[in-house]
Chains A and B, each alone.
Chain A
Amino acid sequence: QQPVQSPQAVILREGEDAVINCSSSKALYSVHWYRQKHGEAPVFLMILLKGGEQKGHEKISASFNEKKQQSSLYLTASQLSYSGTYFCGTNTNAGKSTFGDGTTLTVKP
């Protein structure tokens, strides 16, 4: 079953923070995050395996709450280059992944 992402869209000014959520109705094995710019391929950001860990990638980090079956992506001090659509992919096992419909982030000067 497809994970649900929220919000669908967010508009920020440079330097502001954002949180994007990804929720599943099923117990999760892993969650992975991607950023896709218009007309380009999704780019892998990070993967979180069950265990409630948090990971960081520059000023972008994520958490995984396996009890709540959800993950959150945190973008701090947003830069113009952060604009794009963010997708979460979820796995109930190591095999098949299901992707959310994305959250569009627009960072304005």
Chain B
Amino acid sequence: EAGVAQSPRYKIIEKRQSVAFWCNPISGHATLYWYQQILGQGPKLLIQFQNNGVVDDSQLPKDRFSAERLKGVDSTLKIQPAKLEDSAVYLCASSFGTGGDYGYTFGSGTRLTVV
């Protein structure tokens, strides 16, 4: 089966600019997640979708980050305006049910560098 697709792979922007990431999960996976992975650390959850509804966005910095999953399939994550500390890899993951029951399939990620 096709994996989780993400684009772009790399992005370099200046602080205060905006950026958007795209994710297409595995077909049939109802649950979609966005994680932030800072170098040397484990992934940290930003937002979880179940179909096209938000399940958990408690750790999403809502003053600058937004995400949507229209039609319950692909998703976009946006940062506006970006800060230097947003430099990280942004991983999209999907799961058949929930990650706690089935584990996650991760995409290759988008490496964001804010200068």
Please give the residue numbers on chain A whose beta carbons come within 8 Å of chain B beta carbons, in ascending order.
2, 29-30, 32, 34, 40-44, 46-47, 49, 87, 89, 91, 93-102
Minimum C-beta distance from A69 to chain B (A): 15
Query: Quick one: which of B41, B48, B99 contacts A89, CB cutoff 8 A?
Result: B99
Minimum C-beta distance from B72 to chain A (A): 18
B104 touches A32 (CB 8 A): yes
Please give the residue numbers on chain B whose beta carbons come within 8 Å of chain A beta carbons, in ascending order.
4, 40-45, 48, 55-56, 91, 97-109
| Complex: chain A residue closest to B9, CB-CB | A39
B42 touches A94 (CB 8 A): no
Docked CA distance A94–B99 (Å): 7
Query: Quick one: which of B42, B55, B98, B105 contacts A44, CB cutoff 8 A?
Result: B105
B100 touches A95 (CB 8 A): yes
A32 touches B42 (CB 8 A): no
A95 touches B55 (CB 8 A): yes
